[in-house]
Amino acid sequence: MANFAEVVRAVRQVFRTGRTKTYEWRYAQLSAMLKMMDENKDRMTAALKKDLNKNKIESMIMEFNLCRNELILSMNNLKDWMKPEKVKKELMNIMDKCYIKREPYGLVLVLGAWNYPVQLTLLPMIAAIAAGNCVIVKPSEMSEQTAILLEEIVPKYFDNECVKVINGGIPETTGLLQERFDYIFYTGNNVVAKIVMAAAAKNLTPVTLELGGKSPVYVDRNCDLTTVARRLVWGKFLNAGQTCIAPDYVMCQSDVQDPLIEEIRKVLIDFFTDKPEQSESFGRIVNGRHFKRVEKLLTGVKVAVGGVTREEERYISPTIVRDCKLSDAVMQDEIFGPILPFYVVRDDKEAVDFINDREKPLAMYVFSRNQRIIDNFVNNTSSGGMCINDCIMHASMPSMPFGGVGHSGMGAYHGKFSYDTFSHRRSVMQRDLKMESVNALRYPPYTEKKFGIIKWLTKKSVKRTGIMSFFPLVLCGAVLAFFLKAVGVQARWPSLGER
Protein backbone atom coordinates (compact mmCIF):
# COMPACT_ATOMS: atom_id res chain seq x y z
CA MET A 1 0.00 0.00 0.00
CA ALA A 2 1.29 3.44 -0.92
CA ASN A 3 2.54 5.96 1.62
CA PHE A 4 -0.54 8.15 1.47
CA ALA A 5 0.92 10.83 3.74
CA GLU A 6 3.81 11.31 1.31
CA VAL A 7 1.50 11.29 -1.72
CA VAL A 8 -0.77 13.92 -0.18
CA ARG A 9 2.17 16.06 0.90
CA ALA A 10 3.72 16.00 -2.57
CA VAL A 11 0.48 16.87 -4.37
CA ARG A 12 -0.27 19.67 -1.92
CA GLN A 13 3.17 21.17 -2.50
CA VAL A 14 2.50 21.27 -6.23
CA PHE A 15 -0.84 23.00 -5.66
CA ARG A 16 0.90 25.70 -3.66
CA THR A 17 3.00 26.62 -6.68
CA GLY A 18 -0.18 27.96 -8.30
CA ARG A 19 0.18 25.76 -11.38
CA THR A 20 -3.41 24.52 -11.34
CA LYS A 21 -4.97 27.95 -10.95
CA THR A 22 -4.24 29.12 -14.48
CA TYR A 23 -6.74 28.89 -17.29
CA GLU A 24 -4.10 27.28 -19.49
CA TRP A 25 -3.47 24.37 -17.10
CA ARG A 26 -7.15 23.69 -16.50
CA TYR A 27 -8.03 23.76 -20.19
CA ALA A 28 -5.07 21.54 -21.07
CA GLN A 29 -6.14 18.90 -18.51
CA LEU A 30 -9.75 18.94 -19.71
CA SER A 31 -8.53 18.58 -23.30
CA ALA A 32 -6.38 15.65 -22.20
CA MET A 33 -9.39 13.97 -20.61
CA LEU A 34 -11.40 14.43 -23.80
CA LYS A 35 -8.58 12.78 -25.74
CA MET A 36 -8.40 9.99 -23.15
CA MET A 37 -12.09 9.24 -23.50
CA ASP A 38 -12.10 9.32 -27.29
CA GLU A 39 -9.04 7.11 -27.57
CA ASN A 40 -10.24 4.59 -24.95
CA LYS A 41 -13.96 4.48 -25.68
CA ASP A 42 -13.96 0.83 -26.71
CA ARG A 43 -11.85 -0.22 -23.74
CA MET A 44 -14.23 1.57 -21.36
CA THR A 45 -17.34 -0.06 -22.78
CA ALA A 46 -15.59 -3.46 -22.71
CA ALA A 47 -14.70 -2.99 -19.03
CA LEU A 48 -18.28 -2.03 -18.22
CA LYS A 49 -19.50 -5.14 -20.02
CA LYS A 50 -17.24 -7.31 -17.85
CA ASP A 51 -18.16 -5.57 -14.60
CA LEU A 52 -21.94 -5.16 -15.02
CA ASN A 53 -22.85 -6.78 -18.35
CA LYS A 54 -23.75 -3.33 -19.65
CA ASN A 55 -24.81 -3.12 -23.25
CA LYS A 56 -22.41 -0.96 -25.26
CA ILE A 57 -25.15 1.50 -26.24
CA GLU A 58 -26.31 1.83 -22.63
CA SER A 59 -22.70 2.47 -21.59
CA MET A 60 -22.31 5.11 -24.28
CA ILE A 61 -25.52 6.92 -23.33
CA MET A 62 -25.39 6.68 -19.55
CA GLU A 63 -21.65 6.85 -18.91
CA PHE A 64 -19.45 7.90 -21.81
CA ASN A 65 -21.60 10.59 -23.45
CA LEU A 66 -22.58 12.18 -20.14
CA CYS A 67 -18.91 12.66 -19.26
CA ARG A 68 -17.98 13.85 -22.72
CA ASN A 69 -20.80 16.39 -22.80
CA GLU A 70 -19.80 17.67 -19.36
CA LEU A 71 -16.22 18.04 -20.57
CA ILE A 72 -17.21 20.06 -23.62
CA LEU A 73 -19.56 22.23 -21.55
CA SER A 74 -16.76 22.94 -19.07
CA MET A 75 -14.21 23.70 -21.78
CA ASN A 76 -16.59 26.03 -23.62
CA ASN A 77 -17.51 27.98 -20.48
CA LEU A 78 -14.33 27.84 -18.43
CA LYS A 79 -13.18 31.41 -19.15
CA ASP A 80 -16.56 32.84 -18.15
CA TRP A 81 -16.77 30.68 -15.02
CA MET A 82 -13.34 31.88 -13.92
CA LYS A 83 -14.24 35.57 -14.19
CA PRO A 84 -14.91 37.48 -10.95
CA GLU A 85 -18.61 37.81 -10.23
CA LYS A 86 -19.82 41.38 -9.85
CA VAL A 87 -22.09 42.15 -6.91
CA LYS A 88 -24.62 44.87 -6.20
CA LYS A 89 -23.33 47.69 -4.02
CA GLU A 90 -25.01 49.97 -1.53
CA LEU A 91 -24.63 53.73 -1.49
CA MET A 92 -21.96 53.53 1.21
CA ASN A 93 -19.83 51.30 -1.05
CA ILE A 94 -20.46 52.87 -4.43
CA MET A 95 -16.80 53.86 -4.84
CA ASP A 96 -15.45 50.45 -3.80
CA LYS A 97 -14.53 47.51 -5.99
CA CYS A 98 -16.58 44.53 -4.77
CA TYR A 99 -16.68 41.08 -6.32
CA ILE A 100 -16.71 37.32 -5.70
CA LYS A 101 -13.64 35.37 -6.76
CA ARG A 102 -14.04 31.63 -7.20
CA GLU A 103 -10.95 29.86 -5.93
CA PRO A 104 -9.98 26.17 -5.90
CA TYR A 105 -10.10 24.50 -2.50
CA GLY A 106 -6.75 22.80 -3.03
CA LEU A 107 -6.43 19.02 -2.85
CA VAL A 108 -9.64 17.12 -3.59
CA LEU A 109 -10.38 13.44 -2.89
CA VAL A 110 -12.92 11.83 -5.23
CA LEU A 111 -14.33 8.48 -4.08
CA GLY A 112 -16.09 6.90 -7.07
CA ALA A 113 -18.98 4.42 -7.16
CA TRP A 114 -19.27 0.99 -8.74
CA ASN A 115 -22.69 1.14 -10.41
CA TYR A 116 -21.70 3.79 -12.97
CA PRO A 117 -17.94 3.53 -12.52
CA VAL A 118 -16.99 5.78 -15.44
CA GLN A 119 -19.61 8.49 -14.99
CA LEU A 120 -19.49 8.70 -11.19
CA THR A 121 -15.70 8.80 -11.11
CA LEU A 122 -14.97 11.13 -14.02
CA LEU A 123 -17.80 13.68 -13.63
CA PRO A 124 -16.58 15.00 -10.25
CA MET A 125 -12.99 14.71 -11.50
CA ILE A 126 -13.83 16.97 -14.47
CA ALA A 127 -15.35 19.58 -12.17
CA ALA A 128 -12.51 19.49 -9.64
CA ILE A 129 -9.93 20.06 -12.39
CA ALA A 130 -12.00 22.78 -14.08
CA ALA A 131 -12.13 24.60 -10.74
CA GLY A 132 -8.33 24.45 -10.48
CA ASN A 133 -7.85 21.77 -7.84
CA CYS A 134 -5.38 18.93 -7.59
CA VAL A 135 -7.22 15.60 -7.48
CA ILE A 136 -6.67 12.16 -6.00
CA VAL A 137 -9.20 9.70 -7.42
CA LYS A 138 -10.16 6.42 -5.77
CA PRO A 139 -12.32 4.29 -8.14
CA SER A 140 -14.55 1.64 -6.63
CA GLU A 141 -12.80 -1.73 -6.48
CA MET A 142 -16.15 -3.48 -6.94
CA SER A 143 -16.17 -2.56 -10.64
CA GLU A 144 -12.75 -4.12 -10.89
CA GLN A 145 -12.10 -3.97 -14.63
CA THR A 146 -13.08 -0.31 -14.90
CA ALA A 147 -10.95 0.59 -11.88
CA ILE A 148 -7.92 -1.19 -13.36
CA LEU A 149 -8.44 0.59 -16.68
CA LEU A 150 -8.65 4.05 -15.07
CA GLU A 151 -5.53 3.33 -13.02
CA GLU A 152 -3.70 2.50 -16.25
CA ILE A 153 -4.84 5.27 -18.58
CA VAL A 154 -5.21 8.38 -16.38
CA PRO A 155 -1.44 8.76 -15.82
CA LYS A 156 -0.87 8.67 -19.58
CA TYR A 157 -2.93 11.81 -20.20
CA PHE A 158 -2.82 14.02 -17.10
CA ASP A 159 -0.29 16.07 -15.17
CA ASN A 160 0.90 13.28 -12.90
CA GLU A 161 2.01 15.64 -10.15
CA CYS A 162 -1.52 17.07 -9.83
CA VAL A 163 -3.86 14.21 -10.77
CA LYS A 164 -3.45 10.72 -9.32
CA VAL A 165 -5.44 7.49 -9.26
CA ILE A 166 -5.14 5.18 -6.26
CA ASN A 167 -6.71 1.77 -6.67
CA GLY A 168 -7.62 -0.72 -3.96
CA GLY A 169 -10.32 -1.64 -1.48
CA ILE A 170 -11.29 -0.82 2.09
CA PRO A 171 -7.69 -0.52 3.43
CA GLU A 172 -6.81 2.01 0.74
CA THR A 173 -9.98 4.03 1.30
CA THR A 174 -9.40 3.97 5.06
CA GLY A 175 -5.80 5.06 4.59
CA LEU A 176 -6.76 7.96 2.35
CA LEU A 177 -9.42 9.16 4.78
CA GLN A 178 -6.81 9.43 7.50
CA GLU A 179 -5.10 12.18 5.51
CA ARG A 180 -6.13 15.80 5.36
CA PHE A 181 -7.86 16.92 2.17
CA ASP A 182 -9.38 20.29 1.31
CA TYR A 183 -12.55 18.75 -0.14
CA ILE A 184 -14.02 15.25 -0.32
CA PHE A 185 -16.57 14.08 -2.89
CA TYR A 186 -18.15 10.69 -2.17
CA THR A 187 -20.75 8.74 -4.14
CA GLY A 188 -22.23 5.64 -2.53
CA ASN A 189 -24.39 4.55 0.39
CA ASN A 190 -25.13 6.39 3.62
CA VAL A 191 -23.37 3.81 5.81
CA VAL A 192 -19.99 4.60 4.24
CA ALA A 193 -21.01 8.27 3.94
CA LYS A 194 -21.10 8.54 7.73
CA ILE A 195 -17.55 7.16 7.88
CA VAL A 196 -16.43 9.67 5.24
CA MET A 197 -18.13 12.53 7.04
CA ALA A 198 -16.64 11.54 10.40
CA ALA A 199 -13.15 11.46 8.87
CA ALA A 200 -13.72 14.83 7.21
CA ALA A 201 -14.97 16.34 10.48
CA LYS A 202 -11.59 15.80 12.13
CA ASN A 203 -10.14 18.46 9.84
CA LEU A 204 -13.38 20.39 9.19
CA THR A 205 -13.10 19.34 5.56
CA PRO A 206 -16.18 20.18 3.45
CA VAL A 207 -17.87 17.26 1.71
CA THR A 208 -20.34 16.47 -1.02
CA LEU A 209 -22.20 13.22 -0.42
CA GLU A 210 -24.12 11.72 -3.34
CA LEU A 211 -26.16 8.91 -1.79
CA GLY A 212 -29.50 7.29 -2.56
CA GLY A 213 -32.57 6.09 -0.72
CA LYS A 214 -35.95 4.63 -1.57
CA SER A 215 -37.09 6.88 -4.43
CA PRO A 216 -40.91 6.64 -4.53
CA VAL A 217 -43.28 6.61 -7.49
CA TYR A 218 -46.92 7.63 -7.38
CA VAL A 219 -49.14 6.63 -10.32
CA ASP A 220 -52.51 8.34 -10.58
CA ARG A 221 -55.47 6.50 -12.08
CA ASN A 222 -55.99 9.08 -14.85
CA CYS A 223 -52.74 8.19 -16.68
CA ASP A 224 -51.99 6.42 -19.93
CA LEU A 225 -50.74 3.26 -18.23
CA THR A 226 -48.96 1.98 -21.34
CA THR A 227 -46.75 5.07 -21.42
CA VAL A 228 -46.27 4.93 -17.65
CA ALA A 229 -45.20 1.29 -17.87
CA ARG A 230 -42.62 1.97 -20.59
CA ARG A 231 -41.05 4.84 -18.68
CA LEU A 232 -41.12 2.96 -15.38
CA VAL A 233 -39.56 -0.18 -16.83
CA TRP A 234 -36.78 1.80 -18.50
CA GLY A 235 -35.99 3.77 -15.34
CA LYS A 236 -36.19 0.81 -12.97
CA PHE A 237 -34.37 -1.89 -14.93
CA LEU A 238 -31.65 0.29 -16.41
CA ASN A 239 -28.34 -1.21 -15.24
CA ALA A 240 -30.35 -4.05 -13.64
CA GLY A 241 -31.84 -1.63 -11.13
CA GLN A 242 -28.43 -0.55 -9.84
CA THR A 243 -29.07 3.17 -10.23
CA CYS A 244 -29.16 5.61 -7.32
CA ILE A 245 -32.25 7.40 -8.71
CA ALA A 246 -34.05 4.27 -9.92
CA PRO A 247 -37.74 4.06 -8.98
CA ASP A 248 -37.63 2.04 -5.77
CA TYR A 249 -41.33 1.30 -5.21
CA VAL A 250 -44.69 2.22 -6.74
CA MET A 251 -47.66 3.62 -4.82
CA CYS A 252 -51.06 3.55 -6.48
CA GLN A 253 -54.72 2.95 -5.74
CA SER A 254 -56.00 -0.62 -5.69
CA ASP A 255 -57.77 -0.33 -9.06
CA VAL A 256 -54.54 0.80 -10.72
CA GLN A 257 -52.25 -1.98 -9.47
CA ASP A 258 -53.35 -4.90 -11.66
CA PRO A 259 -53.77 -2.97 -14.95
CA LEU A 260 -50.38 -1.32 -14.49
CA ILE A 261 -48.66 -4.61 -13.67
CA GLU A 262 -50.19 -6.15 -16.79
CA GLU A 263 -48.83 -3.28 -18.91
CA ILE A 264 -45.41 -3.69 -17.29
CA ARG A 265 -45.48 -7.41 -18.13
CA LYS A 266 -46.01 -6.55 -21.81
CA VAL A 267 -43.29 -3.90 -21.81
CA LEU A 268 -40.76 -6.26 -20.21
CA ILE A 269 -41.28 -8.69 -23.09
CA ASP A 270 -41.04 -5.83 -25.56
CA PHE A 271 -37.77 -4.57 -24.04
CA PHE A 272 -36.04 -7.81 -23.02
CA THR A 273 -38.04 -10.58 -24.78
CA ASP A 274 -39.67 -13.40 -22.79
CA LYS A 275 -36.17 -14.62 -21.92
CA PRO A 276 -34.46 -11.60 -20.37
CA GLU A 277 -31.52 -13.76 -19.26
CA GLN A 278 -30.59 -13.97 -22.94
CA SER A 279 -31.13 -10.29 -23.67
CA GLU A 280 -28.08 -8.19 -24.55
CA SER A 281 -29.91 -5.19 -23.07
CA PHE A 282 -30.25 -6.48 -19.51
CA GLY A 283 -27.39 -6.24 -17.01
CA ARG A 284 -26.16 -8.28 -14.06
CA ILE A 285 -25.66 -7.73 -10.34
CA VAL A 286 -22.16 -6.46 -9.66
CA ASN A 287 -20.96 -9.30 -7.41
CA GLY A 288 -22.01 -12.33 -5.38
CA ARG A 289 -22.53 -10.46 -2.12
CA HIS A 290 -24.98 -8.02 -3.68
CA PHE A 291 -26.69 -10.84 -5.56
CA LYS A 292 -27.47 -12.65 -2.29
CA ARG A 293 -28.63 -9.39 -0.67
CA VAL A 294 -31.11 -8.67 -3.48
CA GLU A 295 -32.24 -12.28 -3.81
CA LYS A 296 -33.08 -12.36 -0.10
CA LEU A 297 -35.59 -9.52 -0.62
CA LEU A 298 -37.83 -11.91 -2.55
CA THR A 299 -38.48 -14.08 0.49
CA GLY A 300 -42.13 -14.15 1.56
CA VAL A 301 -43.48 -11.66 -1.02
CA LYS A 302 -46.10 -11.96 -3.78
CA VAL A 303 -44.18 -12.10 -7.05
CA ALA A 304 -46.39 -11.00 -9.95
CA VAL A 305 -43.73 -11.02 -12.68
CA GLY A 306 -40.24 -12.56 -12.78
CA GLY A 307 -38.59 -13.74 -9.60
CA VAL A 308 -36.03 -15.93 -11.39
CA THR A 309 -32.50 -15.97 -9.96
CA ARG A 310 -29.27 -17.63 -11.12
CA GLU A 311 -26.40 -17.16 -8.73
CA GLU A 312 -23.68 -18.46 -11.05
CA GLU A 313 -24.55 -15.72 -13.55
CA ARG A 314 -25.39 -13.07 -10.94
CA TYR A 315 -28.72 -12.86 -12.76
CA ILE A 316 -32.00 -11.70 -11.21
CA SER A 317 -34.84 -11.31 -13.66
CA PRO A 318 -36.90 -8.11 -13.89
CA THR A 319 -39.32 -8.69 -11.04
CA ILE A 320 -42.60 -7.08 -9.96
CA VAL A 321 -43.93 -7.65 -6.44
CA ARG A 322 -47.58 -6.85 -5.66
CA ASP A 323 -49.55 -6.04 -2.48
CA CYS A 324 -46.48 -5.29 -0.39
CA LYS A 325 -46.69 -4.75 3.35
CA LEU A 326 -44.60 -2.36 5.40
CA SER A 327 -43.05 -5.32 7.18
CA ASP A 328 -41.69 -6.79 3.93
CA ALA A 329 -37.91 -6.52 3.61
CA VAL A 330 -38.34 -5.10 0.12
CA MET A 331 -40.02 -2.02 1.67
CA GLN A 332 -37.33 -1.37 4.27
CA ASP A 333 -34.05 -0.35 2.64
CA GLU A 334 -33.04 0.80 -0.83
CA ILE A 335 -33.34 -2.17 -3.19
CA PHE A 336 -30.60 -1.37 -5.70
CA GLY A 337 -31.58 -4.28 -7.90
CA PRO A 338 -34.21 -5.33 -10.48
CA ILE A 339 -37.18 -5.64 -8.10
CA LEU A 340 -40.12 -3.23 -8.23
CA PRO A 341 -42.62 -3.52 -5.35
CA PHE A 342 -46.19 -2.15 -5.42
CA TYR A 343 -47.75 -0.62 -2.32
CA VAL A 344 -51.47 0.23 -2.39
CA VAL A 345 -52.66 3.58 -0.98
CA ARG A 346 -56.08 5.25 -0.81
CA ASP A 347 -55.07 8.44 -2.65
CA ASP A 348 -52.29 10.97 -3.21
CA LYS A 349 -52.71 12.43 0.29
CA GLU A 350 -51.88 9.09 1.90
CA ALA A 351 -48.94 8.73 -0.48
CA VAL A 352 -47.58 12.13 0.58
CA ASP A 353 -47.92 11.19 4.25
CA PHE A 354 -46.18 7.87 3.55
CA ILE A 355 -43.23 9.67 1.93
CA ASN A 356 -42.98 12.26 4.69
CA ASP A 357 -42.86 9.56 7.38
CA ARG A 358 -39.58 8.30 5.89
CA GLU A 359 -36.12 9.60 5.11
CA LYS A 360 -35.89 12.07 2.23
CA PRO A 361 -35.18 10.26 -1.05
CA LEU A 362 -32.75 11.23 -3.80
CA ALA A 363 -35.51 11.29 -6.43
CA MET A 364 -39.29 11.29 -6.58
CA TYR A 365 -41.57 10.40 -9.48
CA VAL A 366 -45.22 11.32 -10.02
CA PHE A 367 -47.35 10.22 -12.97
CA SER A 368 -50.55 12.22 -13.30
CA ARG A 369 -52.53 14.56 -15.56
CA ASN A 370 -54.07 16.24 -12.52
CA GLN A 371 -52.18 19.43 -11.62
CA ARG A 372 -53.61 19.46 -8.10
CA ILE A 373 -52.08 16.06 -7.44
CA ILE A 374 -48.77 17.07 -9.00
CA ASP A 375 -48.69 20.27 -6.90
CA ASN A 376 -49.45 18.26 -3.77
CA PHE A 377 -46.22 16.29 -4.21
CA VAL A 378 -44.17 19.27 -5.38
CA ASN A 379 -45.24 21.51 -2.49
CA ASN A 380 -45.64 19.04 0.38
CA THR A 381 -42.70 16.63 0.07
CA SER A 382 -38.93 16.91 -0.03
CA SER A 383 -36.42 15.04 -2.20
CA GLY A 384 -33.11 15.64 -3.90
CA GLY A 385 -34.80 15.96 -7.28
CA MET A 386 -38.17 15.32 -8.86
CA CYS A 387 -39.39 14.18 -12.27
CA ILE A 388 -43.03 14.31 -13.26
CA ASN A 389 -44.42 11.86 -15.81
CA ASP A 390 -41.03 10.25 -16.43
CA CYS A 391 -38.06 8.70 -14.63
CA ILE A 392 -34.33 9.50 -14.43
CA MET A 393 -34.45 12.23 -17.08
CA HIS A 394 -34.13 15.18 -14.68
CA ALA A 395 -30.56 14.06 -13.94
CA SER A 396 -29.57 14.59 -17.57
CA MET A 397 -30.10 18.37 -17.42
CA PRO A 398 -26.78 20.20 -16.85
CA SER A 399 -28.71 23.40 -16.09
CA MET A 400 -30.26 21.81 -12.98
CA PRO A 401 -28.36 20.75 -9.84
CA PHE A 402 -28.18 17.03 -9.08
CA GLY A 403 -27.87 16.05 -5.45
CA GLY A 404 -29.61 14.78 -2.35
CA VAL A 405 -31.09 16.14 0.84
CA GLY A 406 -31.00 14.62 4.32
CA HIS A 407 -30.17 10.91 4.17
CA SER A 408 -29.94 11.04 0.38
CA GLY A 409 -26.93 13.32 0.53
CA MET A 410 -25.69 16.88 0.66
CA GLY A 411 -24.37 19.20 -2.01
CA ALA A 412 -25.05 19.07 -5.75
CA TYR A 413 -23.27 19.02 -9.07
CA HIS A 414 -23.63 18.78 -12.90
CA GLY A 415 -22.85 21.63 -15.28
CA LYS A 416 -21.99 24.96 -13.67
CA PHE A 417 -23.11 23.55 -10.31
CA SER A 418 -20.16 21.15 -10.48
CA TYR A 419 -17.72 24.03 -10.93
CA ASP A 420 -19.29 25.87 -8.01
CA THR A 421 -19.12 22.76 -5.81
CA PHE A 422 -15.34 22.60 -6.11
CA SER A 423 -14.81 26.36 -5.80
CA HIS A 424 -14.64 28.52 -2.70
CA ARG A 425 -16.58 31.75 -3.29
CA ARG A 426 -14.28 34.36 -1.82
CA SER A 427 -15.68 37.83 -1.15
CA VAL A 428 -13.30 40.64 -2.10
CA MET A 429 -13.69 44.35 -1.36
CA GLN A 430 -11.03 46.79 -2.56
CA ARG A 431 -11.15 50.33 -1.19
CA ASP A 432 -9.14 53.47 -1.86
CA LEU A 433 -6.86 54.89 0.81
CA LYS A 434 -7.81 58.43 -0.22
CA MET A 435 -10.89 60.38 0.92
CA GLU A 436 -10.47 59.12 4.48
CA SER A 437 -12.82 61.83 5.71
CA VAL A 438 -15.69 60.02 4.01
CA ASN A 439 -15.27 57.20 6.55
CA ALA A 440 -15.61 59.55 9.51
CA LEU A 441 -19.20 58.52 10.09
CA ARG A 442 -18.13 55.10 11.41
CA TYR A 443 -15.34 56.36 13.66
CA PRO A 444 -15.63 57.40 17.32
CA PRO A 445 -16.78 59.52 18.93
CA TYR A 446 -20.19 58.00 18.18
CA THR A 447 -23.12 60.43 18.03
CA GLU A 448 -26.82 60.09 17.34
CA LYS A 449 -26.43 62.40 14.35
CA LYS A 450 -23.79 60.16 12.78
CA PHE A 451 -25.90 57.10 13.51
CA GLY A 452 -28.93 58.66 11.84
CA ILE A 453 -26.95 59.41 8.69
CA ILE A 454 -25.56 55.85 8.58
CA LYS A 455 -29.07 54.37 8.90
CA TRP A 456 -30.32 56.57 6.07
CA LEU A 457 -27.44 55.70 3.78
CA THR A 458 -27.59 51.94 4.38
CA LYS A 459 -31.27 51.83 3.44
CA LYS A 460 -30.62 53.24 -0.01
CA SER A 461 -29.89 50.92 -2.89
CA VAL A 462 -28.28 51.94 -6.13
CA LYS A 463 -29.66 50.81 -9.48
CA ARG A 464 -27.40 51.71 -12.37
CA THR A 465 -28.47 51.40 -15.98
CA GLY A 466 -26.90 53.03 -19.04
CA ILE A 467 -26.03 56.70 -18.80
CA MET A 468 -27.79 56.95 -15.42
CA SER A 469 -24.88 55.02 -13.89
CA PHE A 470 -23.09 58.34 -13.37
CA PHE A 471 -25.93 59.87 -11.39
CA PRO A 472 -25.50 57.77 -8.20
CA LEU A 473 -21.81 58.68 -8.09
CA VAL A 474 -22.53 62.39 -8.21
CA LEU A 475 -25.40 62.05 -5.76
CA CYS A 476 -23.27 60.00 -3.39
CA GLY A 477 -20.51 62.61 -3.33
CA ALA A 478 -22.93 65.44 -2.80
CA VAL A 479 -24.85 63.67 -0.04
CA LEU A 480 -21.74 62.62 1.82
CA ALA A 481 -20.16 66.07 1.58
CA PHE A 482 -23.33 67.69 2.89
CA PHE A 483 -23.74 65.37 5.85
CA LEU A 484 -20.08 65.36 6.77
CA LYS A 485 -20.14 69.12 6.89
CA ALA A 486 -23.28 68.94 9.02
CA VAL A 487 -21.52 66.83 11.65
CA GLY A 488 -18.47 69.03 11.64
CA VAL A 489 -16.06 66.92 9.54
CA GLN A 490 -13.96 68.77 6.99
CA ALA A 491 -13.94 66.77 3.76
CA ARG A 492 -10.83 67.03 1.64
CA TRP A 493 -11.45 66.02 -1.97
CA PRO A 494 -8.44 65.07 -4.09
CA SER A 495 -7.34 67.55 -6.71
CA LEU A 496 -7.30 66.61 -10.38
CA GLY A 497 -3.54 66.17 -10.33
CA GLU A 498 -3.46 63.67 -7.46
CA ARG A 499 -2.88 59.99 -8.06
pLDDT at 483: 55
Residues 43 and 131 in one domain: yes
Asked if 405 and 111 count as a contact pair (C-beta separation under 8 A), the reply is: no
What is the total count of domains within the chain?
3
Residues 108 and 254 in one domain: no
Q: Summarize pLDDT for 392-409 with one digit per residue, the tens.
A: 999 999 999 999 999 999
Residues 261 and 172 in one domain: no
Overall pTM > 0.85: yes
Give me the residues of the chain with pLDDT under 50, please: 461-471, 473-474, 490-499
Q: Summarize pLDDT for 194-244 with one digit per residue, the tens.
A: 999 999 999 999 999 999 999 999 999 999 999 999 999 999 999 999 999
Residues 241 and 350 in one domain: yes
Residues 303 and 198 in one domain: no
Asked if 211 and 407 count as a contact pair (C-beta separation under 8 A), the reply is: yes
Catalytic residues: 210, 244
Residues 205 and 237 in one domain: no
Residues 98 and 133 in one domain: yes
- Structural domain boundaries, residue 456: 435-486
Residues 451 and 360 in one domain: no
pLDDT at 92: 75
- The domain that holds 110 is classified in CATH as 3.40.605.10
Q: Summarize pLDDT for 12-28 with one digit per residue, the tens.
A: 999 999 999 999 999 99
Of residues 119, 16, 106, the one with CA closest to residue 69: 119
Distance CA 256, CA 471 (A): 66
pLDDT at 454: 78
Dump the DSSP string for 9-70: HHHHHHHHTTGGGSHHHHHHHHHHHHHHHHHTHHHHHHHHHHHH---HHHHIIIIIHHHHHH
Q: Which helix (H) or strand (E) holds 349?
A: helix 348-356
- The domain that holds 228 is classified in CATH as 3.40.309.10
Domain assignment present for 456: yes
Distance CA 156, CA 36 (A): 8
Of residues 190, 250, 236, 409, the one with CA closest to residue 337: 236
Gyration radius of the chain over CA positions: 28
